[in-house]
Structure 1
Amino acid sequence: MGDDRKAMYDGWSRTGEHTMEWARIANAFMTQAFASGCTVAKCPCKNCKNRLRQYRHEIQVHLCKDGFMPEYLVWHEHGELEHASESDGNDDEDRMDEMIADVGREYEKESPPEEVQKFFRLLATSDEKVHEGTNVTVLQAVTRLMAMKSKYNFANNCYNGILKLIIDLLPSNHKMPKDLYQSKKILAGLGMNYEKIDACENNCMLFWKEHENDTHCMHCNASRYVEVVSDDGEQVTTKVSVKQLRYMPITPRLKRLYLSQETAKQMRWHSEGKRESEDKDIMVHPSDGAAWQALDRFDPEFAKDSRNVRLGLSTDGFTPFSTSNSPYSCWPVFIMPYNLPPNMCMKEGYIFLAAIIPGHKHPGKKINVFMQPLIEELKELWQGVKAYDSHKKCEFTLRAAYLYSIHDLLAYGIWAGWCVHGKLCCPICMADTDAIWLKYGKKVSFFDCHRRFLPSNHPERRDIQSFRKGRKVTKGPSRRLTSEQKMAWHEKLKESVEGGFEGYGKEHNWTHISFLWELPYAKPLLLPHNIDLMHQERNVAESIISMCFDFTGQTKDNLNARKDLADLCDRPGLEVRTNTSGNESRPRAPYCVKPEERKQIFSWLKTLKFPDRYAANIKRCVNLNTGKLNGLKSHDYHIMMERLVPVMFRGYFKPDLWKMLAELSYFYRQICAKEVSKKMMRQWEKEIVVLRW
C-alpha cells in the first residue's frame, strides 16, 4: 500500500499543478475519511497533522494548498483500523475536538438529549478561527489561556495585559475576546459553572433553597451581608456576603466523561479492561478490594452496569496566602472517579474540584453545613440521571456512589465526626482503648497497647520486663465497628445541655454525626474513611530519622520521654542522670548514632544521585555544619523510608535493631507498590504488630 501512495507526495506541487494520480489518491482519501457519514474528520495536511477536525470542503482546500503530512501512507486515523495502534488512555494532547466529533457524528443518525445538543450548539457557534490565517479556534485559544492563568496563578490584570498584547499582534479582523470578562462568557456555556452559596459567618447554615432570601442566620442571628458604618455614623448593610461556599456540581462533569469516545470506553475498564496479571490474589485497582465488592453485593443492579461510577473523596485545609499574613485556612473538596484504569484515575485531568469551603478557620464539626449540596447530589446520582454514552452511541441512566474518603488524621476526624485528640483519639479502637496519659510528656500515648493484638498464646503477652513493668496482657484486640453498628450508636446519642453529646471524652469522642450516614447505601460501606498513607509514612520516617540521628529539638526521645520511661518501664540504663551540678542528661540509646557516625552518613548522602524524576536532590537538604537535614518534603521522606534507611544505618546499629528498620522499610515498599498481594497483606497485618514495637 505504501508504494501505491507515493504519488501523495511526488504528485503534489506548490504551484497547484498536481498530477492526476495525486488527485485520484486525494479523492480516495476523502471517500475513506467520510465513509461513516460523519460531517467532520481529522485533517491530514502538513499544518493540521491530524490534530484538528475540519469539514469536507476545508480538508480539500488544505490538501490542495499544503499537501499531506509526512509519512502518512497508511490512513490509520481515518478508518484503516487494521493498522491503528491502540491508545493507552494517557494522551496529554487537547482532545476537545475529538470529543466534539465523537458525538457530533450522531446528529444525522439520531437525536441526542437536549443537554448534549445545547452543548454542541454552543461549540458550533464558538468554532470560529481566531483569524483567517490560522487553524486555531477562539475556543481553543481561550481555554489554553485560562488554563495558563489557573496553572501559573495570573492576576486578572495580568491576564488582561497578556490578552491585549496578543490582540496587538493579531490582524484587525481577529475574533479574540478583549478581556477576562469576555473570555469567561465564552467558557460559561460549556456547562462547568459553579454556584456561589452564601453561608453564615459562624458556619451555622447556608442561605440556600428555602432560606435563599433570608438576611440573617436562623440560629445565631448573624447578618448574611457585611455591615459597615457610613460617613454619617449609621450602620449600613451592603450586598457583599460575609462568607461564601463555592460549589461545583459533579453530575455535569461525570456526564462529560462519557462524551469522549475514548474516555467512555476507559470508564468500563474496571469490569471489562485487561489486567497484566490474571491472579485473583493481586490487587491493582480499587475494584479488586473488599470495599468495592461489598457495595456491589448490596445493590447488584448498580454493579450490573459497568458505567456506574464509584467515587473517592479527599479534603484538607491549606493557606492560600502568605504565612506572614493573618492566618486563613480554606478547605477544597476533591472527587475522584475510580472507574478509570490505574494509570488514569488519579491523574490531574480526572480529579474534580467539587467545593471550596471558606475560612478563616477549619469547619470543624459544622462541616455538614457546607456539604449539604454535595450530599443532595450524591443522593440524586444514586437514583440515576440521564447521560449519553458516545462509545456505545446511546442514552443511558448514569448512577454514582461514594466509596470512601482519604485524608490526613485531623481531616479524618472532622469528616468522620470523631475527635482525634485525647485518650479516645483512635477512630478505629474508639472507646475500647488502652491509651495512657504521660505525666511528663503531657500527652496521650499508645505505648504497650499493641500486645492485645498478638495471638493469645504469644510469649510477649506475659513479658513483664520488656514493656510496661509488671504488666501482663490478657485482653483481646479491639473490635472494629461496622458502618451499621456506628449508625446504631448514633441513634443512642443524647444531646448535652452544654452542647455536643452526653458522655463525650469518657464514653465516646463523637463531635457530630457525619452527613455521609444520610446516604441510602451507607450501611455496606466497609471503609468510609481512610488515612492518607503519604502523611502516615512521612510522620513515621520523620520520627525515626530524627530519633536515630538524635536531632536536638526534633527527636521525641527527649528528657521528658526518659522520665516517663522511668515510671513505666524497667530500663535503668536509659533513665535520666543528674550530675553533681544538678544538670540532667540522657544516656545515649543504642538506636542513636554517634556524632562522628552521623557525619559519615551525611557525607554519604551528599554523594547520592538519583535518576531524573525519581527523587529530589536530597543532598541539598544535608547540612554538614549544623548536622541536620533541612527542607525535606513528603516525597523525600518516602524515598528515605523505603530506600535509604536500611542502607544508611547498616553497620551502625546492632543486627536485630537494623533488621527491624529494614523490615519496616520493606513493609512500606509493599503497601506502596502498584500491585499488592492480598495474601501478603494478611500476613503483614499479623507481623506488623511485632515489627513496629
Structure 2
Amino acid sequence: MGGLLRSAFSVNMPPNCPNLEAREDDEWIEVPVAYDTDVEYDYSIIEEDVTYKKLLEASEEKLYEGCINFSKLSFLLHLFHLKCMNHWSIESFNMLLKLILYAFPQILDFPSSYYYSKKMIKDLGLGYEKIDACPNNCMLYWGEFLKKDKCHVFGTSRWKKTKDRGNIVSDQGTDTCKKGVPAKVMRYFPLIPRLKRIYMSLETAEDMRWHDTERLGEDDKKILRHPSDGLAWKAFDERHSDFALDPRCVRLGLASDGFNPYRLMNTTYSTWLVMLIPYNLPPWLCMKPSSFILSTLIPGKSSPKNDIDVYLQPLVHELKLLWTGVEAFDAFAREKFNLRAALLWNINDFPGYLMLSGLSIKDHPYRCQGDKFCEKFGTNEWVKAPSLPSGTDILRQQEKVKHVYGKSKAPPKKRQRGHDDDDDVQDESDFGTKRSIFFDLVYWEHNLLRHILDVMHIEKNVSENILGTLLSMDKSRDSRNDREALEAWRINSHLWLSTNPNGGECMPQLRLPLLCLWRRRRGS
C-alpha cells in the first residue's frame, strides 16, 4: 500500500525536493513542512499533501487490533476488487459490509455502505467525468455549452421529460427545477492523468522506454516485431524529429466498437466504447487488457454513427494539449519532464472505419454495372493503378462535405439493389460522409497510416455470415435482395439461386456450393 500511494502522489521525488530526505536504503521519506502564512503557495499541492497523509494513515491503521494481513485501506480495496471481478451489485456490497461489521464489532470506523467506501478511496484518483449530451447526438454540454439547457441544433431539451401529479409532461431544468435528470450522459476518462500515472510508477516508467532502448542488431531491425519497426512509426519520427528525441513521448493507437452491456441477444442495444493503446510498451505488455486505457463510454440504444465525432471532442482536446506537452514526473529518472503524446492510427472493423474516418465503405457504382464491362472479361488491364491519396488530399475533399451532427428529420434514402444492408452503413457523397474530427490534430493529415482494418474482427463477421447462411441462422445472408444482387453480378443463377421468389430459408441449391467453397478454403 505504501508503494501504491507513493506512486499515486509522486512521492518518489528527486533529491532537490525540499520535503523529502534520503534513507540508508535509498528510499525517500517525507519530512513535515511548516507552511509560512506570509508566502503564497500552490494550494492544490497543499491539498494533495493533506490527501496523501490521510490515505497514508488509513493504509497504516490496522483493520482491528492484532491484524497483521490487512489495513483498513487495503481491505477495502480488496473488497472493491472482488466486487468488480464478480459483478456484485451495490445492494449486495452494502449487505456484505453490514454483515462484516455485525460479525466483527472490533472493526472500528469502517465504512458501512458503498457510498462511504467510495468517498474513502476516491482520493486515489483516476476517476471519470460525466458529460451531458443531446439525446439526438447533436452536441455535448461541455466547454462553452456547459450551462446550456437546450440543443443549439434542433432545440431539444437537455433534461428528461417527467410527469407531475396531474400526468402533465414537463421538462426539468426550468425555473421551478434548477437541476433535472439529463436525457443522456457520456462517461469520459481523462487521458492526461492516466499517462502521468504511468510515469509515476517506477516499473511502468522504465517499460515505456522499451521501444528505444531494447534494440537488436541491424539484421533484426528488418523484422517487424513491434510498431516501432514499421514504416508509419519511422515516417512519423522523421517528420517530427523533436517529438522523436525523447523516447518518453507516448505513441497511441485508438480502437472503437459497440457492444451490448445487457448480454441479451434478443435486446437491441449498442453502447460504444473508445479505447487507447500505448505502443511504447514491449509487445508482451502493450496488448494486455491491463495496459489498455478506457477513454470514452457512449450510451445509447443505437450506434452514434457519424455523430461519434461529437463524443470525441474531449479526447481530441486533450490530444492537442499533449502535442504541446504537459509537465509530468518520471519515477525512473527521478526528474520532471515535458510529457507529449500523439495518436498514430485507428483500428476498427468496416463500420467503425466509416464512422471515424468519414470515408466511403460502400460498393463502387460500377459493381452493379457489370453489363457495361462484359466484353472485357478475360482480358488484361494495362492501365496503371491510381495513386493512393494522401491525408492532405483527403482533407481537401472532406472539407467540401457539409455535415450537420445529430439525427435529422429527413427520411432515409432507399437502399439500392446490391448494396450492403448493414445498419451502420450510411448514405455518402463523392467525398465521404463528413470531415473527420481527427484532422483537428495538426499532424494527422501527414500520418502515413491513419486507419487500420481489424482483420480478425472482419474474418469473424464473414465467417458468421457464411455459417449463418449455410445453417439458416439469424445472420443468414440469403434474402431476396441478395439473390437479385447475385443475378445482377452474373453469378451462375441457375445453380446458386432457388426458385422461391420470396427468399426465405436458404435452399440446398445455395447451401451446397457455399459449403464446397468453404471446405476448399480449409483444404478439406
Q: Does 1:515 align with 2:468?
A: no
Which residue identity is paired with 1:537?
Answer: E
Q: 1:251 to 1:558 in 2, by over 3 A?
A: closer
- Counterpart CA distance in 2 for 1:367 and 1:478 is 31
Matched residue, 1:487: 395
Q: Larger deviation: 325-334 or 290-299?
A: 325-334
Q: What whole-Å deviation, never above 9, does each CA across 1:81-140 have from its counterpart, x for those lacking one?
A: xxxxxxxxxxxxxx7368469844753269999497577445324323322313422222
Q: 1:366 to 1:570 in 2, by over 3 A?
A: closer
Matched residue, 2:77: 143
Query: Cα distance, 1:191 vs. partner?
Result: 1.9
Matched residue, 2:276: 335
Query: Cα distance, 1:505 vs. partner?
Result: 6.1
Which residue identity is paired with 1:198?
Answer: D
* Contact 2:248/2:339, CA 8 A, preserved across alignment: yes
Q: 1:576 to 1:222 in 2, by over 3 A?
A: closer
Which residue identity is paired with 1:144?
Answer: H
- Counterpart CA distance in 2 for 1:275 and 1:138 is 47
Q: Spell out the pairing of 1:124-139 with structure 2 (5 A cutoff).
A: 124-127=56-59, 128-132=61-65, 133-139=67-73
Which TM-score applies when normalising by structure 2?
A: 0.77
Q: Does 1:586 align with 2:519?
A: no
Tell me, which stretches of 5 or more residues in structure 2 are unaligned? 15-19, 23-27, 32-41, 173-179, 412-425, 500-506
- Counterpart CA distance in 2 for 1:499 and 1:562 is 30
* Contact 1:122/1:189, CA 8 A, preserved across alignment: no
* Contact 1:469/1:570, CA 8 A, preserved across alignment: no
Which residue identity is paired with 1:123?
Answer: L
Q: Spell out the pairing of 1:408-419 with structure 2 (5 A cutoff).
A: 408-419=349-360
Query: Cα distance, 1:389 vs. partner?
Result: 0.6
Query: Cα distance, 1:564 vs. partner?
Result: 6.3
* Contact 1:412/1:529, CA 8 A, preserved across alignment: yes
Query: Cα distance, 1:661 vs. partner?
Result: 4.7
Matched residue, 2:208: 267
RMSD: 3.9
Q: What whole-Å deviation, never above 9, does each CA across 1:292-329 have from its counterpart, x for those lacking one?
A: 11221121111110011011111111121253776322
- Counterpart CA distance in 2 for 1:305 and 1:292 is 14
Matched residue, 1:347: 288
Q: 1:555 to 1:373 in 2, by over 3 A?
A: closer
Q: What whole-Å deviation, never above 9, does each CA across 1:467-490 have from its counterpart, x for those lacking one?
A: x85665444434322212111212
Matched residue, 2:368: 436
Q: Look at both structures and tell me which one has the larger radius of gyration over its CA atoms.
A: 1
Q: 1:172 aligns with which of 106, 111, 114?
A: 106
Q: Larger deviation: 475-484 or 553-562?
A: 553-562
Q: Does 1:108 align with 2:40?
A: no
Q: Does 1:525 align with 2:438?
A: no
Query: Cα distance, 1:532 vs. partner?
Result: 1.3
Matched residue, 2:132: 198
Q: Larger deviation: 374-383 or 228-237?
A: 228-237
Query: Cα distance, 1:386 vs. partner?
Result: 0.7
- Counterpart CA distance in 1 for 2:198 and 2:84 is 21
- Counterpart CA distance in 2 for 1:319 and 1:398 is 36
- Counterpart CA distance in 2 for 1:396 and 1:209 is 28
Q: 1:339 to 1:175 in 2, by over 3 A?
A: farther
Which TM-score applies when normalising by structure 1?
A: 0.59
Query: Cα distance, 1:152 vs. partner?
Result: 2.1
Which residue identity is paired with 2:56?
Answer: A
- Counterpart CA distance in 2 for 1:576 and 1:104 is 71
* Contact 1:316/1:333, CA 8 A, preserved across alignment: yes
Q: Spell out the pairing of 1:308-457 with structure 2 (5 A cutoff).
A: 308-323=249-264, 327-420=268-361, 422-424=362-364, 434-436=366-368
Q: 1:585 to 1:242 in 2, by over 3 A?
A: closer
- Counterpart CA distance in 1 for 2:269 and 2:497 is 42
Q: 1:438 to 1:538 in 2, by over 3 A?
A: farther
Aligned residue for 2:445, secondary structure, equals coil
- Counterpart CA distance in 1 for 2:135 and 2:493 is 56
Q: Does 1:225 align with 2:159?
A: yes
* Contact 2:322/2:341, CA 8 A, preserved across alignment: yes
Q: Does 1:182 align with 2:95?
A: no
Query: Cα distance, 1:153 vs. partner?
Result: 1.8
Query: Cα distance, 1:150 vs. partner?
Result: 2.2
- Counterpart CA distance in 2 for 1:574 and 1:308 is 59
Q: Spell out the pairing of 1:4-15 with structure 2 (5 A cutoff).
A: none
Q: Larger deviation: 561-570 or 395-404?
A: 561-570
Which residue identity is paired with 1:413?
Answer: L
Query: Cα distance, 1:593 vs. partner?
Result: 5.0
Q: Spell out the pairing of 1:490-501 with structure 2 (5 A cutoff).
A: 490-493=398-401
Q: What whole-Å deviation, never above 9, does each CA across 1:333-383 have from its counterpart, x for those lacking one?
A: 111111111111111211111111121221122111111111101100111
- Counterpart CA distance in 1 for 2:208 and 2:399 is 38
Q: Which has the higher contact order (CA 8 A, sep 6+)?
A: 2
Aligned residue for 1:339, secondary structure, equals coil
Which residue identity is paired with 1:130?
Answer: L
* Contact 1:423/1:437, CA 8 A, preserved across alignment: no
Aligned residue for 1:283, secondary structure, equals coil
- Counterpart CA distance in 2 for 1:340 and 1:286 is 10
Q: Larger deviation: 324-333 or 192-201?
A: 324-333
Query: Cα distance, 1:517 vs. partner?
Result: 0.4
Query: Cα distance, 1:569 vs. partner?
Result: 5.3
Q: 1:398 to 1:589 in 2, by over 3 A?
A: same
Q: Does 1:477 align with 2:477?
A: no
Query: Cα distance, 1:520 vs. partner?
Result: 1.3
Query: Cα distance, 1:143 vs. partner?
Result: 2.2
Q: Spell out the pairing of 1:214-293 with structure 2 (5 A cutoff).
A: 214-238=148-172, 239-274=180-215, 279-293=220-234
- Counterpart CA distance in 1 for 2:410 and 2:481 is 35
- Counterpart CA distance in 2 for 1:379 and 1:101 is 25
Q: 1:325 to 1:561 in 2, by over 3 A?
A: closer
Matched residue, 2:39: none
* Contact 1:407/1:532, CA 8 A, preserved across alignment: yes
Q: What whole-Å deviation, never above 9, does each CA across 1:5-61 have from its counterpart, x for those lacking one?
A: xxxxxxxxxxxxxxxxxxxxxxxxxxxxxxxxxxxxxxxxxxxxxxx76xxxxxxxx
Q: Larger deviation: 231-240 or 137-146?
A: 231-240
Q: 1:418 to 1:259 in 2, by over 3 A?
A: same
Query: Cα distance, 1:195 vs. partner?
Result: 1.1
* Count of matched residue pairs: 466
- Counterpart CA distance in 2 for 1:219 and 1:587 is 49
Tell me, which stretches of 5 or more residues in structure 1 are unaligned? 1-51, 54-94, 425-432, 440-447, 449-463, 579-583, 595-644, 650-657, 666-693
Percent identity between the aligned chains? 33
* Contact 1:333/1:356, CA 8 A, preserved across alignment: yes
Query: Cα distance, 1:166 vs. partner?
Result: 2.5
Matched residue, 1:96: 4
